[in-house]
Amino acid sequence: MQHGVISTGQLRELGLSPQAIQHRVGRGRLHRVERGVYVLGRPELTQLGRWMAAVLGGGKGAVLSHLSAAALWGVVPASGPPEITVPVACGRRRERVIVHRRPGLREEEAFVRHRIPVTSLVRTMIDISRRLEAPDLERAVNEADRLDLIDPESLLDALGGHRGQHGVRALEALLSRHVFRLTDSELERRFLRLVERAGLPLPITGIRLNGFKVDFYWPNLGLVVETDGLRYHRTPAQQARDRLRDQAHVAAGLTALRFTHAQVRDETRYVIATMGAVATRLEEGWPDDDAGPGVNQAS
């Protein structure tokens, strides 16, 4: 099935004449979505059905693309009218559908996801890089990695075959290992900006250390930092696990710090000062039990 929608051409392939199609429309068995596209049975369409209808209405070679493709891949929320890409020589003006024209997609740039023809994830990321602000684009890259669709390194490597195309330079700049660090949440992205303001090098993110996944790790400093979001770390059991996590790091000779959502969001000067003071102590080799003025080690 095609999410409840079908084209006139497909109906003709099934042996229905124009008169037979109109008869079914009159009986309420087919409902016209737009010229050449119908929905079977009930007239309501799901989001997948709307995307499928947009592609079918684009004719041969049409694929879902841009922000609609990104939403189908699951890396951005669904919003706005459907967007499709069609061969340059094909396509017509459409109501409630944004049509992009391209000479032709490479074979590896076309895909089928949830039975809908769509641009490949790499092609999609290039296309949306011209439409999204840097924080939103970074969020989409993070989501693609979280969903195990593609990791940042593989995406960066794949861009080599698209050099000179619009959007590639912006995406390459974001994916540069000197700029991009994989994070799990907007809270962590905010914290990375504070790290830069504190004058610290960018940390390793999201690795496992002493049996736990850690948010941020500076191996040259022996420093681990965790950021507690509003959605997690609420229950007594979760808080107890946090203590075990911090104690495991301290037992291994590391310094463990933990900042709350409110501190990262509203007490940026405190966070920057604390990070700077701890980093200075660690760089100078101060004793572990002397944390410096105003700095408390997690235990």
CATH of the domain at 221: 3.40.960.10
Q: Tell me the residue range of the domain where 30 lies.
A: 1-45
Q: Tell me the per-residue pLDDT of 265-299, one tens digit each, with 9 for 90 and over.
A: 889 999 999 999 999 999 887 444 443 333 333 33
Mean pLDDT taken over the chain: 85
Instruction: Give the residue from 126, 141, 175 where a domain finishes.
Output: 175
Q: What percent of the chain has pLDDT over 70?
A: 90
> Do 91 and 163 share a structural domain?
yes
For residue 191, is pLDDT > 80?
yes
Query: Do both 148 and 114 map to the same domain?
Result: yes
pLDDT at 93: 67
Both 72 and 142 in one domain: the answer is: yes
Q: What is residue 113's predicted lDDT score, i.e. its pLDDT? A: 95
Q: How confident is the model at residue 135 (pLDDT cuts 50, 70, 90)?
A: confident
User: Is position 51 within any domain?
Assistant: no
Sign of CA dihedral 133, 135, 140, 141: positive
d(Cα 141, Cα 195) in Å, to the nearest integer? 21
Is 199's pLDDT higher than 70?
Answer: yes
Query: Which residue intervals of 130-256 are DSSP H helices?
Result: 134-146, 152-158, 168-175, 186-197, 236-251
Question: Do 163 and 64 reside in the same domain of the chain?
Answer: yes
CA 43 from centre of chain: 32
pLDDT confidence tier of residue 162, bands split at 50, 70 and 90: confident
Q: Binning pLDDT at 50, 70 and 90, where does residue 220 land?
A: very high
Kindly report, residue by residue over 117-132, the tens digit of the pLDDT: 999 999 999 999 989 9
What is the structure's pLDDT at 298? 38
**Is 229's pLDDT higher than 90?**
no
Q: Which of 175, 209, 237 is the last residue of a domain?
A: 175
Predicted pLDDT of residue 235: 63
Q: By the 8 A CB rule, do 186 and 229 touch?
A: no
* Shared domain check, 226 and 149: no
Same domain, 150 and 205: no
**How many C-beta neighbours within 10 Å does residue 291 have?**
17
What is the pLDDT, as a whole number, of residue 204? 93
Residue 230 pLDDT more than 80? no
- Mean pLDDT is lowest, of 22-36, 140-154, 173-187, 230-244, for 230-244
* Higher-pLDDT residue of 40, 121: 121
Rounded to an integer, the average pLDDT of 157-176 is: 88
| Number of domains into which the chain is organized | 3
User: Is 68 in the same domain as 142?
Assistant: yes
Contact 111, 41 (CB under 8 A): no
Q: Please state the rounded mean pLDDT for residues 27-52.
A: 87
pLDDT of residue 188: 84
* Residue 290 is assigned to a structural domain of this protein: no
CA distances from 196 to 114, 168, 201, 202, 218 (A): 41, 25, 7, 7, 13
User: Do residue 169 and residue 192 come from a single domain?
Assistant: no
Q: What is the pLDDT of residue 107?
A: 83
- pLDDT of res. 223: 96
Is residue 121 one of the residues assigned to a domain?
Answer: yes
Looking at the structure, tell me whether residues 23 and 76 fall in a common domain. no
User: What is the model's pLDDT at position 91?
Assistant: 54
Tokens of 69: 């493709």
Angle at 83 between CA 153 and CA 99, to 5 degrees: 120
Per-residue pLDDT tens digits for 92-114: 667 789 999 887 778 889 999 99
The domain boundary residue, chosen from 141, 175, 209: 175
The verdict on residue 116 lying in a domain is yes
Whether 36 and 135 share a structural domain: no
What pLDDT was estimated at residue 290? 41
Confidence check: pLDDT of 50 > 80: yes
Do 9 and 73 fall within a single domain? no
Residue 258 forms part of a structural domain: yes
pTM above 0.85?
no
Residues 114 and 66 in one domain: yes
